Structure 1
Amino acid sequence: MSELEISQRPAPQKWSKKEVLGHLCDSAINNLQRFIKIQYEEEPFVLTPYNQVEWVKIQGYQELRIDEILDLWVSLNKKIINVIKNIPNEKLGLQCNIGSNELMTLQWLIQDYLEHMEHHITKQILTSFSGFPNTH
């Protein structure tokens, strides 16, 4: 993809493909912490939400080179893979509160992270430019 294609925003309040990849970096940062903390914090571990739009804006992904964002995404996900590989099977059933007192397991949280990443990559980054919103 050209720098123009990955940097183009379909509208002022929508993310470019670079910003979507940046959002996936932010998701990795937050979920890496969750995958670690849920293993030793009191159960159920309460997920702390984060303002996705502000994270993308404050980190300035739109102004960064795509290779910087991609390097960060790869590095974070390598770390996540390492953490997931080292989770003992008996900890996969640990409970976390995902909001509104809805309890899910660590295994569900990991699967949700992967589905979230796949959604953004296949539906927004690798497809032709179609104008996607700045949230999921």
Structure 2
Amino acid sequence: MDERFPIGPFVHTGEVTLAQREKWIQDIAELPERAREAVKGLSEEQLSLPYREGGWMLKQVIHHMADSHMNSMIRFKLALTEDTPTIRPYYEERWAELSDSRDLDVEFSLQILDALHRRWVFLLNALTDADYAKQFYHPSSEETTRLDYNLGMYAWHGKHHVAHITSLRDRLGI
């Protein structure tokens, strides 16, 4: 197993069907509880372990999910209210080095994920096919991304990072 990608990379080709969107929305809805379960019972020392050599500490992974998913919801809202907006990239690796990502109790980001995902799922369930076809432009990758595809990316993203935590727990028997 590649410890960087314990569930493999995100791959989706072709059209995104209604059934696929519903599955991804369910994944988004379930992420906060999965993240909470992944770190349940871990000590502060264990939360400070990197999920792989050269990787982030487990606590940084949790804080990163909150940061990243907040950014994603904002990108959804921009795409829903503007014509193919250019989104604002951010340096996730630099954000992960800030004190709130390195030192703050993960409970705060778990609470953010819970509230954010409830609101995000509510929005996602209200979108039409035409809404999901809207897109945004990412200046770093120079790619235009449809919201339905981005939904899949973030459904995968949450599972990907939860697997970082659970695969380390499995390897260490904790």
**CA root-mean-square deviation:** 2.3
Partner amino acid, structure 1, of 2:101:
Y
Instruction: Name the residue aligned to 2:165.
Output: 125
Distance in 2 between residues matched to 1:46 and 1:126, nearest whole Å: 35
Matched residue pairs, number? 128
1-structure distance, mates of 2:51, 2:133 = 41
Identical-residue share of aligned pairs (%): 22
The answer as to 2:60 corresponding to 1:19 is yes
Q: TM-score, normalising length from structure 2?
A: 0.64
| Equivalences for residues 87-106 of structure 1 within 5 A | 87-99=127-139, 100-106=141-147
Matches of 2:66 and 2:160 in 1, distance apart? 14
Contact 1:10 1:16 in 2 (8 A): yes
Unaligned runs of 5+ in 1: 131-136
- Offset at residue 11 of structure 1 (A): 8.7
C-alpha separation between the residues in 2 aligned to 1:76 and 1:55?
Answer: 19
Decide which of 45, 55, 67 is 1:4's aligned counterpart: 45
Note closer, same or farther for the CA distance 1:13–1:116 as it changes in structure 2 (3 Å cut): same
TM-score, normalised to structure 1, is 0.80
Partner SS, residue 83 of structure 1: helix
Partner Cα separation in structure 1 for residue 52 and residue 157 of structure 2: 23
In the alignment, structure 1 residue 60 sits paired with structure 2 residue 100: yes
- Relative distance call for 1:93 and 1:11 in structure 2 (3 A) is closer
Task: List runs of 5+ in structure 2 lacking aligned partners.
Answer: 1-41
* 1:116 counterpart (157, 164, 167): 157
